[in-house]
């Protein structure tokens, strides 16, 4: 059995890790870390886990983690992960980080978008961007994963096939994405109060959202040229889910069927990618699951493709993808613990 620790276990992504891994056949949860709820059973914080997982939360002790864990998931805020991960990595642990701290290939890009210097830039050289559908073989060989964010996963995978096949122009790509409120985490903030969110929708951080740089990094690698794009996130009044609507100009006329065939071929061996022959994805098709659904339409008047992709931000956009990465590293079936269908209602 692989011994697992989770730092930040009581946040929204952390508790999804607890839920998924409690039913995983190949692992044993041995450490749950929470500063806020230390000395409390996780099932006291989340009563849904009563009888499923009753481990007591504790403070982080890196020596204890090294003695009792083989892999540690760090579901901590951006900036906090890079302060605790070096000690864990040095002690020989495999670390799967759900923050943005180890997703970048260039420390200067990180510094620009996060407004702080990276305290362990040498680890960026060994970390792997944990998007299995694009970096599977690299993931299998590493001990440090920068687990992609929700907006980025939905956006990158929506465009990857078309860019890899040279079907779209690399200039003037526009990504319009909507997120459920859980994407902001469990911390308190006026913008996320019920009365602020319900019956309301708003755009935010236009042109400045940190995930823009992450999307550009990965799409540039696929296209083999530098890509700069427009990314606009929106907050919508639902608990969970990401829906990305992506606009790209076609290099030549294509039919919808031709482009769908292109995307299907690119993802032909990917269990978690579902490509629509007709219709378009909706968030309730994927909520509670590790699937990403992709559909598209061609606007013939403008010679433009409009791609729609949908994921659960807490599963394929966070905890589920992290488990997918763990499965690859430790030799489990990649789908272990993740094959359930969405909730729908």
pLDDT in tens, 226-270: 999 999 999 999 989 999 999 999 999 999 999 999 999 999 999
Average pLDDT over residues 173-191: 88
Average pLDDT over residues 324-334: 98
User: What does the longest C-alpha to C-alpha distance in the chain come to?
Assistant: 62
- 212 with 231: CB under 8 angstroms? yes
Residue 214 pLDDT? 96
Residue 67 pLDDT? 96
Statement: residue 33 has pLDDT above 90: yes
Residue 184 pLDDT? 78
Average pLDDT over residues 312-340: 97
Chain-centroid distance of CA 47 in Å reads: 26
Q: Which of 53, 69, 150, 197 is catalytic?
A: 150
For Cα atoms 291, 134, 300, give the angle at the middle one, nearest 5 degrees.
75
The per-residue pLDDT of the chain, averaged, comes to 95
Residue 244 pLDDT? 98
CA 287 to CA 284: how far, in whole Å?
A: 5
> Domains in the chain, ordered, with CATH?
2-126 (3.40.50.720), 151-313 (3.30.360.10)
Q: Is 150 among the catalytic positions?
A: yes
Radius of gyration of the chain (CA): 20
Q: What does the block give as tokens for 308?
A: 């729609």
**92 φ, ψ (degrees, to nearest 5):** 95, 5
CA count, 13 A, side-chain hemisphere, 30 = 17
Helix axis angle, 256-266 to 150-164, nearest 10°: 110
Statement: residue 185 has pLDDT above 90: no
- pLDDT: is 57 or 190 the higher one? 57
- pTM for the predicted model, two decimal places: 0.95
Locus of tokens 């990094």: 217
Average pLDDT over residues 37-65: 96
Residue 189 pLDDT? 85
CA 156 to CA 140: how far, in whole Å?
A: 21
CA 199 to CA 212: how far, in whole Å?
A: 27
Residue 193: pLDDT band with limits 50, 70, 90: confident
Locus of tokens 């969970």: 240
**In the chain, what are the helix, strand and coil shares in percent, each to the nearest 5?**
35, 20, 45
**What's the residue count for the chain?**
345
Residue 50 pLDDT? 96
- 18 with 49: CB under 8 angstroms? yes
Environment class of 79 (CB within 10 Å of its CB; exposed 0-12, middle 13-18, buried 19+): middle
Residue 188 pLDDT? 73
pLDDT digits (tens, 9 = 90+) for 80-109: 898 999 999 999 999 999 999 999 999 999
- 194 with 21: CB under 8 angstroms? no
């Amino acid at each position: 059995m692989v011994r697992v620790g989770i730092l930040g276990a009581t946040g929204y992504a952390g508790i999804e890790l607890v839920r998924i891994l409690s039913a995983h056949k190949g692992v044993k949860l041995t450490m749950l870390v929470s500063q806020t709820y230390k000395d409390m059973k996780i099932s006291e914080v989340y009563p849904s886990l009563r009888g499923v997982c009753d481990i007591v939360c504790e403070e982080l002790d890196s020596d204890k983690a090294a003695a009792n864990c083989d892999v540690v998931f760090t579901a901590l805020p951006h900036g906090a992960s890079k302060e605790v991960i070096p000690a864990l990595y040095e002690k020989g642990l495999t670390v799967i980080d759900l923050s943005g701290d180890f997703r970048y290939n260039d420390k200067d890009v990180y510094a620009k978008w996060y407004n702080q210097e990276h305290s362990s830039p040498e680890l960026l050289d060994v970390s792997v961007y944990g998007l299995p559908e694009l970096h599977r073989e690299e993931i299998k060989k590493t001990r440090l994963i920068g687990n992609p964010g929700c907006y980025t996963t939905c956006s990158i995978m929506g465009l990857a096939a078309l860019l890899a096949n040279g079907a779209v122009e690399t200039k003037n790509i526009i990504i319009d994405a909507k997120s459920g409120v859980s994407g902001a985490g469990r911390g308190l903030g006026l913008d996320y109060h019920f009365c602020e969110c319900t019956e309301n929708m708003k755009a935010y951080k236009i042109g400045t959202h940190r995930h823009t740089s992450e999307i550009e990094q990965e799409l540039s690698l696929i296209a083999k040229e530098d890509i700069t794009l427009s990314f606009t996130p929106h907050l919508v009044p639902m608990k969970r889910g990401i829906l990305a609507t992506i606009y790209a100009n076609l290099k030549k006329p294509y039919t919808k069927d031709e482009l769908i065939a292109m995307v299907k071929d690119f993802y032909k061996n990917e269990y978690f990618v579902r490509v629509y022959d007709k219709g378009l994805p909706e968030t309730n098709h994927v909520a509670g699951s590790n699937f990403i659904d992709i559909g598209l339409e061609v606007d013939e008047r403008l010679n433009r493709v409009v791609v729609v992709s949908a994921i659960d931000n807490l599963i394929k956009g966070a905890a589920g993808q992290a488990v997918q990465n763990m499965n690859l590293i430790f030799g489990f079936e990649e789908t272990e613990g993740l094959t359930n269908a969405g909730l729908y209602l």
